[in-house]
Structure 1
Amino acid sequence: MDSKPADNVSKDKTVAPGKRVGGSLYLHRSAQDRLPGKDGELLLRALALAPDVDWNVSKTADGKVSLLLYEDFSLHAFPALLSAATIGLSTGATKRTDYSKRANPPILHRKELLLPPDDARIPAFAAITRLAEEKGLFTDTKTIGTREAWNRLVEAAGLRIDGPRLLHADSGRIEVSREKTAITRVGLSSPVAAMIECGMLTKDDDLFDYGCGMGDDVATLQADGYSAWGWDPAHRPDGRRAPADVVNLGFVVNVIENPHERAETLRAAWSFARKGMTVSAMLTGRVDVSRQTPHGDGYLTMRSTFQRYYAQDELMLFVNQTLGERVTPLGQGIVAVFRDKELEQRVAMRKRSRADAIIRRHALPRPVRAPREALPPRPSLVERISGETASIWETALSLGRLPTADEVDLAVMVSLSDKNVSLARAMQACFSLFNMPLLDEVAAARREDLLVETALSMFPGAPRYASLPVSMQRDVRHFFGSHAALSAQATNELSALRNSSSLQAAYDKSVDEGVASLHGGILRFAGASSTRLPVAIRIMLGCADIVRPGFSQGDVFEIGPKPAALKAITVADMETPLPRILEIVDVELGRASSRERKARDEILYLKSLYLPIEDPKRTAQAALDDRLLASNVVTKEGKGPAGRVLTEILTKSRSKS
């Protein structure tokens, strides 16, 4: 069978399945109910005329239908034709042909096109097609329709067929046990927790966990009132596969050994996302691979599982090139892509938000009930609307201002109406119940957030959006009066980055507030403290993230001594006193340039200089740093020996003591 599909064949989920070759349409039996129009009518007539035929692929053409039986799609990369029954619709006659005994039967290519678009096997099947295309096997479609000719082409291209797989001829016959990579979790996985923290996933959204493993994320979310479901090819093959607001592809791409299938899986998961999707993977340098065996572009573990370890920028590039979408980092080894561009803006702002960081540091206060009188005749107003005021207060904190009526939860508004209490009276109750200075602190931070985001939107290369989300438009009016006033202040903030005295004032403020240290003209701080920094420094970090997407995912940062020169340092484990450096990224804002360097056995010395003053480990870390300085192991600039040499020094020191 000629395997080249017609030009109008598309993998878009909105297009009917099937592969049209010449004037005939081929379709798998599982997609029978999706066969459109005239072809569907022809197939129904043929099935009525030949109800006893065993088949799994239909071939429809004007006035004629063939019911074909191919080898199992799941067991054969290029299934051979076993039998065919051609039904003449005008005469009702059926012609049957047996191919099962033939040494050189016709075979099938591009089998993924015959399946319904939500079939879970499509990524694996499409990966086979992509490899065949990559090797030029479909160049002459007139010579590839039978098994012997096809096998010769496959062999000449340096490939081999291994049951359901198309492999490079020199690849070993190693079975990868993907199902063993699933783990049992206590609590949410890091990508799902990140989605909730940044506002990408709320209880108003539903989530599809694509490749959910044991399903622990789904169970935890459902128990907390979220709408969530999951599917996994090994552990939940019958799980629900349906479009959702948000899709989680959590630690899936890194366990797929076939690069083509990896990309197809990413595309398949993305096809289910209405608003956005997160993709996460294991990071390079976080796992000891000395006992793992190199395999393809990754490693085989001792449990016969595969792991492809990514650097953060590699993961971002993979997702960007595969989907053609802007990628937003949510955390180390966690990235997001968005169809909903308003949501993309809100998530980007919330990631950098000082106001949200303040809210996270403060547990939401519970309403304080008025003292009870002995046998009161009826509950007080405060008691009657305690639940409603708590919800209003939570909304107010999230906004940094008192909400308007349409920003209050509809159920709260209905409940207040049922109790004959106006929103104004409920707001007044909030004033006496809750910590208003906290709201003032959040309001000031929210104002700074808007200033930072607006300044960043003016920086060359920043994403351009048609409009601000409605809630942000209200924030602009509330905090600045107009967008023009906000833009003017943001312009001034950007201009101030060229002023050495303004930058020095920002550095000094960072040090005074205990968020950073300043030594030798270099400002040092931890990534976890970035939202607490002054506006000027937060803008510099955001600009560096525009120049080098993913820059903000470093563990610690340095600015200086050269103006507008920033450095992000990623380490293997920030919890250790002497972290091993994995990667260093330098950005020069003036030239909008960046440079990345993979570290070679380097140590992050003088870690205490990066820690905020309130960090409980800072005192012990500073004592260690002082000992290293006093013994001349480390210079005051933080320069020291390689990790191997440091180990030797420490070993000798312990033996002497």
Structure 2
Amino acid sequence: MGPTGEQWLSNRRLTAIGRSGLSVPARQAVMDQQISPQCSVLDYGCGRGDDVRALQSLATKASGWDPHFYPEGRLESADVVLLTYVLNIIEDPAERRHTLLKAWELAGETLVVSTRLTWERSKVTGDDLGDGVLTSRRTFQHLFTASELKSYVEEVTGVRCVSAMPGVIYAFKRDEARLAYLARRIAPAATWLASDDAASAMASVVDYTEQRGRGPRLEEMPAEMVKLLSHLTTAEVQRVVRASADAAKVAEGARRSTLTTLLFLGVELFNGRGPFGCLPLSVQLDVRTFFSSYKAACQRSDRLLLKLRDDSYVRGAMNGSKVGKLTPTALYVHRRTIDHMPVVLRLYEHCASIAAGRPQDWTVVKLRHQGRGVSWLDYPEFDSDPHPRLRSSYMVDLATLKTSFMSYEETVNRPLLHRKHEFLHPSDPDVPKYHRLTNSELRAGLYTNPHIIGTEEGWEAELVRCGRELRGHRLVMRK
């Protein structure tokens, strides 16, 4: 029986599983700074209450309510409301919608919604019931696609939402909070050098200026640093910075900040642009410093976003990219090299991640030439395995926003990578080692039949044919 007396068609309490730590959505919200000790959290439909206890252990003011396990829990508003794997177990669409509306009503700042996704269908067996499946244990599952979940939450709450990862959606009560989150994803806050006296504090300000291409405002500086420099006037600080900062580094910082601002504004337009006053302070200051006006900055970013529709422009950007492996169909780039891509390609990847979520585990991103599709590929042994095997692939089609997921963990003949150095930036410290291996394999004739070597069995057959074997990242004669 439900909390309002309605008869449930499924045994919902059986879907509540025990955990030893935070659930994936709650952990993501902590990592994204949506949950912190400074905010209150309500886990609405908390099941056995494991997330509540885990958050409390992190000094967070967390409480929970559940119609079966914690019906006596206090159901009152909180800064952040978690609605974790609740919508997918409700068989009645009207009740499902009512539950989401209630959670949104209780959220003071942010609502975190998570559900199971359609790629888990093979794990759910049972008979069709309404828009889902009733299992043999009489539990119900309505599986969402990543884009369907985002659209559903947006339609019910009436606000623009962001996909934090596949199956996890953030809905914000204020545009300022949404834009601050986007800014953190695209342009993480600057790091400040440790300071324990006025001289080191001034050195930190100089370093910030070189990184950002402009001096910091007091509001951007750590409180302790402001105290250390309180005996100096603003003009004196600026004079020291001008005398100490490397002009070439400042110019490079300004170029980098200009591109990052254009990237943020492009993603902001893709996700719903707000007024200038809603932007984070650091972005406002970058706009004022590097552009003639907010309107001019928006116009430049809009042109950049429009260029994503032009196949020839995107291919040109890929051809001109100094990083990544370019094939006849796509550009492949390692995650630690992604910030070295041209800004239009970074915008390409960010738009896909905002639309359908970037998975937690990925190693290489694949950007298609024609059409607009992004895949995040997971090669967990990339650094240790000379030819890492593919574990999973998550793809979003930007034209339709359809997503697909493929796991290769149970596949006998998995795809694998070659020429690892090509996925990285030339300055990456591992590039020389990977390059030496590639050259050795070329000399041994291992790449003579490229149509064979893309899978484990084909690659092993070529190693045997050439009388070679691998020891770490060294190619040796086969014994």
- Same-fold call, TM > 0.5? yes
**1:544·1:566 contact (CA, 8 Å) conserved in 2?**
no
Q: Give the Å deviation of 1:254.
A: 3.3
Paired with 2:356 and 2:140, the residues of 1 have a C-alpha distance of: 26
**1:211·1:232 contact (CA, 8 Å) conserved in 2?**
yes
Higher relative CO (Cα under 8 Å, sequence separation at least 6) belongs to: 2
Match of 1:263 among 97, 104, 123: 97
Matched residue of 2:400: which SS?
strand
Cα separation, partners in 2 of 1:201 and 1:166, compared to 1, 3 Å: closer
Equivalent residue pairs, number = 439
Matched residue of 2:42: which SS?
strand
Paired with 1:241 and 1:393, the residues of 2 have a C-alpha distance of: 50
Paired with 1:574 and 1:273, the residues of 2 have a C-alpha distance of: 38
Among all aligned residue pairs of Structure 1 and Structure 2, give the percentage whose two residues are the same amino acid.
23
Q: Give the Å deviation of 1:202.
A: 5.0
AA at the equivalent of 1:522: A
Cα separation, partners in 2 of 1:276 and 1:438, compared to 1, 3 Å: farther
Paired with 1:251 and 1:394, the residues of 2 have a C-alpha distance of: 45
Structure showing greater radius of gyration is 1
Alignment match, 2:328 = 520
Paired with 1:307 and 1:543, the residues of 2 have a C-alpha distance of: 29
TM-score w.r.t. the length of structure 1 is 0.52
- Residues 394-423 of structure 1: per-residue CA shift (max 9 Å, x gap): 99999885442344567876x669xx7457
Cα separation, partners in 2 of 1:539 and 1:176, compared to 1, 3 Å: closer
Establish whether residue 404 from structure 1 lines up as the match of residue 222 from structure 2: no
Establish whether residue 536 from structure 1 lines up as the match of residue 344 from structure 2: yes
**1:567·1:586 contact (CA, 8 Å) conserved in 2?**
yes
Paired with 2:254 and 2:23, the residues of 1 have a C-alpha distance of: 31
Q: Give the Å deviation of 1:184.
A: 2.1
- Residues 490-536 of structure 1: per-residue CA shift (max 9 Å, x gap): 356457668888645632454x34xx211226312357764442212
Alignment match, 1:454 = 265
Paired with 2:209 and 2:56, the residues of 1 have a C-alpha distance of: 27
**1:400·1:443 contact (CA, 8 Å) conserved in 2?**
yes
Matched residue of 1:594: which SS?
coil
Paired with 2:15 and 2:271, the residues of 1 have a C-alpha distance of: 41
AA at the equivalent of 1:479: F
Deviates more, 1:253-262 or 1:325-334: 253-262
- Residues 569-603 of structure 1: per-residue CA shift (max 9 Å, x gap): 367x653813355x65444xxxxx43747579998
Establish whether residue 285 from structure 1 lines up as the match of residue 119 from structure 2: yes
Alignment match, 1:469 = 279
Alignment match, 1:486 = 297
Cα separation, partners in 2 of 1:288 and 1:223, compared to 1, 3 Å: same
AA at the equivalent of 2:373: K
Cα separation, partners in 2 of 1:457 and 1:175, compared to 1, 3 Å: closer
Q: Give the Å deviation of 1:339.
A: 1.8
Deviates more, 1:209-218 or 1:491-500: 491-500
**1:298·1:308 contact (CA, 8 Å) conserved in 2?**
yes
TM-score w.r.t. the length of structure 2 is 0.67
Cα separation, partners in 2 of 1:294 and 1:205, compared to 1, 3 Å: same
- Residues 536-583 of structure 1: per-residue CA shift (max 9 Å, x gap): 21233456678xx32766966544544xx2222367x653813355x6
**2:119·2:405 contact (CA, 8 Å) conserved in 1?**
no
Structure 2 residue runs of 5 or longer lacking an equivalent are: 382-388, 463-477
Give runs of aligned pairs for residues 532-571 of structure 1, distance below 5 A: 532-542=340-350, 549-550=355-356, 557-562=365-370, 565-569=371-375
Match of 1:178 among 7, 14, 17: 14
Matched residue of 2:373: which SS?
strand
AA at the equivalent of 2:13: S
Paired with 1:652 and 1:277, the residues of 2 have a C-alpha distance of: 52
Give runs of aligned pairs for residues 60-459 of structure 1, distance below 5 A: 121-122=3-4, 125=5, 128=6, 165=7, 167=9, 175-178=11-14, 180-185=16-21, 188-202=22-36, 204-285=38-119, 289=123, 292-294=125-127, 296=129, 298=132, 307-351=141-185, 353=186, 355-356=187-188, 365-367=193-195, 402-408=215-221, 421=231, 445-456=256-267
Q: Give the Å deviation of 1:279.
A: 0.8
Give runs of aligned pairs for residues 481-630 of structure 1, distance below 5 A: 481-487=292-298, 489-490=300-301, 493-494=304-305, 503=314, 506-508=317-319, 510=321, 512-513=322-323, 516-520=324-328, 522-525=330-333, 530-542=338-350, 549-550=355-356, 557-562=365-370, 565-569=371-375, 575=380, 577-579=389-391, 581=393, 584-587=395-398, 593-594=399-400, 596=402, 605-607=415-417, 612=424
Matched residue of 1:285: which SS?
helix
AA at the equivalent of 2:217: T
